[in-house]
């Protein structure tokens, strides 16, 4: 088995030859890093995209997917991409906030009214603008993937924000996630996803928050027996590509990527719904109890985050207003 260091060395070595792949005969390989296992819906959606890109370009463009954080955490993968050692990363809006500020809008709790509002924003004008907003940072967004709603899980039921008082709660490295947990009275602890199982097991943190499939597939149900469906955020997953790699593709190849990524986003909606039902059942089999908390109390507790935006971050406030106006 290749160690993570060996994989990285091989990938970086291959990256050095990336510039040479533009010859008429050689295929262009785009390396894509993400942190989920192969049985996660997002891996399957991206696998379908990779196959379609290959078919549409007669094998001239190949996307090689490295799952399971083999190439590092989401943040490390973003840095590798910015340094030219990788071409694509599947991350999410929470971690992208540190690289492109407009993504912070997606991380505000109780922003979306329902699933169709969420889809209409992602697939509409504001969503497209946010994907394009990071060009100056060396990458652009290719597509969003449905990642459902995130909720708290721990060793006891969480029915109201008061139940979070004094708890160390793992959040993604995202200023909005930190602000949200503070507003709810918990104590936010930013950690990479891959470190969370051990952190929960050893009591480094008391609680975490995620969607049901990620919670279940990372086996967090073994160490957290209550999943409280407060559904505070709907943070989409995002596939990004370095501008260097994107600009290096021919017009036709870019079209192929656009078509295949759109189709994989649509496929993901179906895969996601199936995965949510299946992984909830799997978690229940493992002894996890799903709790229905008082969502209104959570929404009320985070309202100050919205009230502060107008003066603290007018640009973000404007984006949030546009999102709220989407039907
Ligand atoms: C979700 C998301 C990942 C992210 C993870 C996390 O599972 O799909 O991109 O890393 O949450 O909480 O870190």
pLDDT for 184-224, tens place per residue?
Answer: 999 999 999 999 999 999 999 999 999 999 999 999 999 99
pLDDT at 282: 98
Looking at residue 203, the DSSP 8-state letter turns out to be T
Query: Is 74 close to ligand 1, i.e. is its CB under 6 Å away?
Result: yes
Residue 227 forms beta bridges with which residues?
153, 290
Residue nearest to atom 7 of ligand 1 (CA): 214
Nearest to 146 by CA among 87, 216, 211, 230: 211
Looking at residue 97, the DSSP 8-state letter turns out to be T
CA distances, 45 to each of 52, 99, 106, 307, 313 (Å) = 11, 24, 21, 37, 35
Tell how far the Cα of 27 is from the centroid of ligand 1, in angstroms. 31
pLDDT at 303: 97
pLDDT at 7: 56
At CA 72, angle to CA 18 and CA 181, rounded to 5? 135
pLDDT at 2: 47
Residue nearest to atom 13 of ligand 1 (CA): 193
pLDDT at 1: 43
The length of the chain is 327
Mean pLDDT, the chain, rounded, equals 94
**Region at 10 (left for phi over 0; alpha for psi -120 to 50; beta for the rest):** alpha
CA distance 263 to 301: 38
Give helix 314-325 / helix 125-132 axis angle, nearest 10°: 150
**In this predicted model, what pLDDT tens digit does every residue of 245-284 receive, in sequence order?**
999 999 999 999 999 999 999 999 999 999 999 999 999 9
Interface confidence (ipTM) of the complex: 0.98
**In this predicted model, what pLDDT tens digit does every residue of 39-96 receive, in sequence order?**
999 999 999 999 999 999 999 999 999 999 999 999 999 999 999 999 999 999 999 9
Query: Is 193 close to ligand 1, i.e. is its CB under 6 Å away?
Result: yes
pLDDT at 26: 78
Residue 141 forms beta bridges with which residues?
240
Pocket test residue of 37, 78, 147, 224 for ligand 1, highest count of atoms within 8 A of CB: 147
Q: Is the pLDDT of residue 182 over 50?
A: yes
pTM for this prediction: 0.93
pLDDT at 224: 98
Give helix 175-183 / helix 295-312 axis angle, nearest 10°: 130
> What integer is the mean pLDDT of 109-123?
98
Write the DSSP string, 156-187: S---SGGGGTT-EEEE-S-HHHHHHHHHTT-E
Please report, in angstroms and rounded to a whole number, the separation of the first and last CA atoms in the chain. Answer: 50
Query: Is 216 close to ligand 1, i.e. is its CB under 6 Å away?
Result: no
Tell how far the Cα of 193 is from the centroid of ligand 1, in angstroms. 6
Residue 85, C-beta contacts closer than 8 angstroms, at least 6 positions apart: 11, 12, 15
CA distance 187 to 327: 35
Residues 12/45, Cβ–Cβ less than 8 Å: no
Q: Is the pLDDT of residue 3 over 60?
A: no
CA distance 38 to 194: 15
CA distance 318 to 324: 10
């Amino acid at each position: 088995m290749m160690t993570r260091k060996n994989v990285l060395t091989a990938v970086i070595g291959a990256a050095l030859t990336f510039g040479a792949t533009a010859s008429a005969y050689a295929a262009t390989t785009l390396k894509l890093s993400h942190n989920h296992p192969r049985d996660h819906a997002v891996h399957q959606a991206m696998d379908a995209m990779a196959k379609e890109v290959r078919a549409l370009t007669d094998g001239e463009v190949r996307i090689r997917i490295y799952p399971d954080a083999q190439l590092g955490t989401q943040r490390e993968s973003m840095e590798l991409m910015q340094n030219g050692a990788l071409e694509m990363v599947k991350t999410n809006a929470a971690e992208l906030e540190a690289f492109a500020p407009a993504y912070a809008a997606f991380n505000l709790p109780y922003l979306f009214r329902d699933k169709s509002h969420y889809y209409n924003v992602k697939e509409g004008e504001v969503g497209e603008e946010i994907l394009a907003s990071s060009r100056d940072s060396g990458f652009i967004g290719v597509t969003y993937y449905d990642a459902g709603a995130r909720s708290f899980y721990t060793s006891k039921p969480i029915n109201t924000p008061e139940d979070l008082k004094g708890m160390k709660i793992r959040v993604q490295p995202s200023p909005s996630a930190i602000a949200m947990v503070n507003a709810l009275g918990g104590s936010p602890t930013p950690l990479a996803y891959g470190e969370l199982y051990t952190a929960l097991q050893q009591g480094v943190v008391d609680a975490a928050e995620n969607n049901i499939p990620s919670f279940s597939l990372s086996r967090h149900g073994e160490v957290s027996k209550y999943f409280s469906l407060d559904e505070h955020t709907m943070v989409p997953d995002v596939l990004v590509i370095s501008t260097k790699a994107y600009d290096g593709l021919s017009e036709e190849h870019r079209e192929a990527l656009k078509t295949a990524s759109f189709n994989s986003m649509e496929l993901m909606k179906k895969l996601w719904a199936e995965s949510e039902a299946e992984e909830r059942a799997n978690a229940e089999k493992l002894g996890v109890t799903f709790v229905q908390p008082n969502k209104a109390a959570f929404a009320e507790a985070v309202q100050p985050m919205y009230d502060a935006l107008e003066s603290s971050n007018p640009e973000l406030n404007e984006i949030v207003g546009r999102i709220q106006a989407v039907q």
